[in-house]
Structure 1
């Protein structure tokens, strides 16, 4: 039996466990089991809280694949650490596969936190593109539902941004996410520009599908918007279950501010994994 908590960040939801409660488990198999809505708890991903030798967020998608980082996930990670007395100070670092992220708690009720997300990389080599180009910007990719102009970067994990008037089907999104040009697949963000300070985003996450929110995707959408002259350096991202404030600072650092909500706590009773 495994103690767990479930949190959501703007609708992007996660099962969170302490590492000491899952020692010896295969995290990939555990993620698939607990995230399955039919036979498990149901979530977009699994977060394992590693406290030693330093605080670290270990993140797995619902399909069992490990991802370097998750923007909404790290806000939920911060809320879990606060609720469980793991970290009660307002500002502290968190280790991830994408590097060190800085948590800055703004409020506790409701729980709001700003995360320093690092700087984007536009180097194709950093996100595994096969075409040999130095960058992968304003490229056309074919799907069975038409041609899409895409631009990719690494923002905590690989992201591809597509500016649209209307959100496309899941089939088109999946074809872009799994396009053979991306050696590690890609997350795909379909972005509507409402005005220079407001974006609406729908993200297809590799290993998950369409989700209600994606923090790293919102950050990637902002930096692409700035690069292409579509928005200013600070935007509000409108999502079905909340809003994020994304800003790129003069030094290139990107910050994300938004909520995290505890949904449930309990014990996961499982077959042996």
Structure 2
């Protein structure tokens, strides 16, 4: 039997498995089965916390479809709560420093990347105002914050059909690693409303890396100044970034319950 915790950040929910005492063999099929909300435990992402040679812990992240991804901001905020102290975390996106704050955590998410091949895109293109768009959407920006994001700034967020546009853009050949799709509306001097179609998970209550990428893109376009409040369906995150620096994300993290499961049954 293996122990796990059910946690969430702004409603973006996780099954967090402690693999520090012994490896937990995780395949795409097993991750998908655990994430299934009807036949499994149910989550947006499955998180494996393991040992690390150069950090306090390592973190592996699997989407609900079983695909492994590089980064997840909301899950990163849950790690110090899960471990019980401030932690340096080794991820596929690099080293992340997560510190506990009242009600959640503050995480240094590293420096954003803007080169077309770092997103990655299929061919060279300006990533601040991309020479591509879809239907009536304006030209987006692209940012990599450990994982790939495309951001559309629109005048009326409520007028969009996210369920149709999200998968259309996520799976476009322009994005060889697929992409997280962010639909954003600037609603104040330091305030953005955001809805995210997450790669491999679909519409989500909140996406921490999406909030980071969107705030960075808005600051680069001089639409807004930081620190930025990003309001997602699940609640608010605070994102602070200055050009040339790293991104600081602050927001809630919640422990729901602990449980045990036989992973070989999934």
- The answer for unaligned runs of 5 or more in structure 1 is 83-87
Q: Could you say what secondary structure the match of 1:139 adopts?
A: coil
Which residue among 149, 171, 178 is the counterpart of 1:159?
149
How many residues are matched?
Answer: 261
Map 1:104-143 to 2 at 5 A. 104-107=99-102, 110=103, 112-133=104-125, 135=127, 137-143=129-135
Map 1:1-273 to 2 at 5 A. 1-20=1-20, 23=23, 25-53=25-53, 54=55, 55-82=57-84, 88=85, 90=86, 92-107=87-102, 110=103, 112-133=104-125, 135=127, 137-143=129-135, 146-164=136-154, 165-167=156-158, 168-169=160-161, 170-249=163-242, 251-269=244-262, 272-273=265-266
Q: 1:56 to 1:24 in 2, by over 3 A?
A: closer
Q: State the shift of 1:149 in Å.
A: 2.0
Q: Is the CA contact 2:20–2:51 (under 8 Å) kept in the aligned structure 1? A: no
Q: State the shift of 1:250 in Å.
A: 5.9
Q: Deviations over 1:89-126 (max 9, x none)?
A: x4x4211111111112223xx3x211001111110111
Alpha-carbon RMSD: 1.9
CA distance in 2, matches of 1:140, 1:162: 11
Q: Could you say what secondary structure the match of 2:40 adopts?
A: coil
Q: 1:104 to 1:20 in 2, by over 3 A?
A: closer
Q: Deviations over 1:138-180 (max 9, x none)?
A: 333235xx44421111112101101121242211111011111
CA distance in 1, matches of 2:72, 2:96: 11
Q: Could you say what secondary structure the match of 1:182 adopts?
A: coil
CA distance in 1, matches of 2:69, 2:75: 11
Q: Is the CA contact 2:78–2:105 (under 8 Å) kept in the aligned structure 1? A: no
Tell me the TM-score normalized by structure 1: 0.89
Tell me the TM-score normalized by structure 2: 0.91
CA distance in 2, matches of 1:60, 1:22: 18
More deviation, 125-134/16-25: 16-25
CA distance in 2, matches of 1:180, 1:73: 28
Q: Is the CA contact 2:142–2:149 (under 8 Å) kept in the aligned structure 1? A: yes
